Structure 1
């Protein structure tokens, strides 16, 4: 078998030369289009990566704020402080030191209510009244009992007391 002598015919020579030149041109066009497409996708990926980083940072900030708000809400829903005030100590002509000592004694009796949730404290308000009103106190060799005039239960439990002779 032998190869046909097509190299002698110029039409076939032009055809093969056209195929070679067309292949080279199409290869250049392919590389150009592929390069532009890759560049566009690279820019898109870079932009998306920056957006992801920004969103992750924003998410962390929101999570920290959310945790802090939860912590504050938990603190707000528990008893943080107890205030006791005896209002009519002037009526019995008592000195402020002994009144302050008795206020602190009542506060110590109620110290178990600190860090309890408001619902529990509210449900046990009758018990609080009994604890305060059934305990006689002694000031200058005289016995008194306390009567609750006003009780406010919130994050700060405020109780106003009146002294009465036993």
Structure 2
């Protein structure tokens, strides 16, 4: 079998040169596109790794903060301050003694500051009886108080009504 000598024809030679040139150009285009795409993927991969690292650090910080909050939540809530309000202060004979009466009541129950709030809540009747059964004397006047509202929070809030004792 005989293969015809196409390599001698100029049209066939131009075809081969064109195919070779096209293959070289296509190869360079392929390399350029592949390199460009691969570079973008590497950049995206770096960005995602950086984001994952930041999120892990944030997660670790939040978990540590959560553990600190859990430890604080296990600690009992303590009484921090006492706030006493006299409801009927306009009925008192002298407006200057209101502050003194509040201070006397605070002195009477200041032992609850720093105590566990659950213990104080269990003995709220004792706290009420301490204030209501005591007669407070200022300037020739004696006062007794009845508790209208008692809020047991870290700041114990007590609203009392003052009555002149006879």
Mapped to 2, the partners of 1:132 and 1:76 lie a distance apart of 25
- Which residue of structure 2 aligns with residue 127 of structure 1? 126
**Distance in 2 separating the partners of 1:91 and 1:57:** 62
Q: Distance in 1 between matches of 2:154 and 2:85?
A: 17
Aligned to 2:102: 103
Query: Per-residue deviation at 1:67?
Result: 4.0
TM-score (norm 1): 0.57
TM superposition score normalised by structure 2: 0.57
| Map 1:8-157 → 2, pairs under 5 A | 57-58=57-58, 60-70=60-70, 73=73, 77-95=77-95, 97-157=96-156
For the 8 Å contact 2:76–2:117, the answer to whether it is kept is: no
- Asked if 2 retains the 8 angstrom alpha-carbon contact of 1:146 and 1:162, the reply is yes
In the aligned structure 2, how far is the partner of 1:127 from the partner of 1:65?
Answer: 38
- Cα gap change, 1:108/1:66 in structure 2, threshold over 3 Å: closer, same or farther? farther
8 Å CA contact 1:83–1:159 kept in 2: the answer is yes
Aligned length: 118
| Structure 2: gaps of 5 or more residues | 1-49
Q: Write out per-residue CA displacement over residues 75-122 of structure 1, whole angstroms, 9 at most, x where no aligned residue.
A: 783322211011112112322x32112212212222222232322111
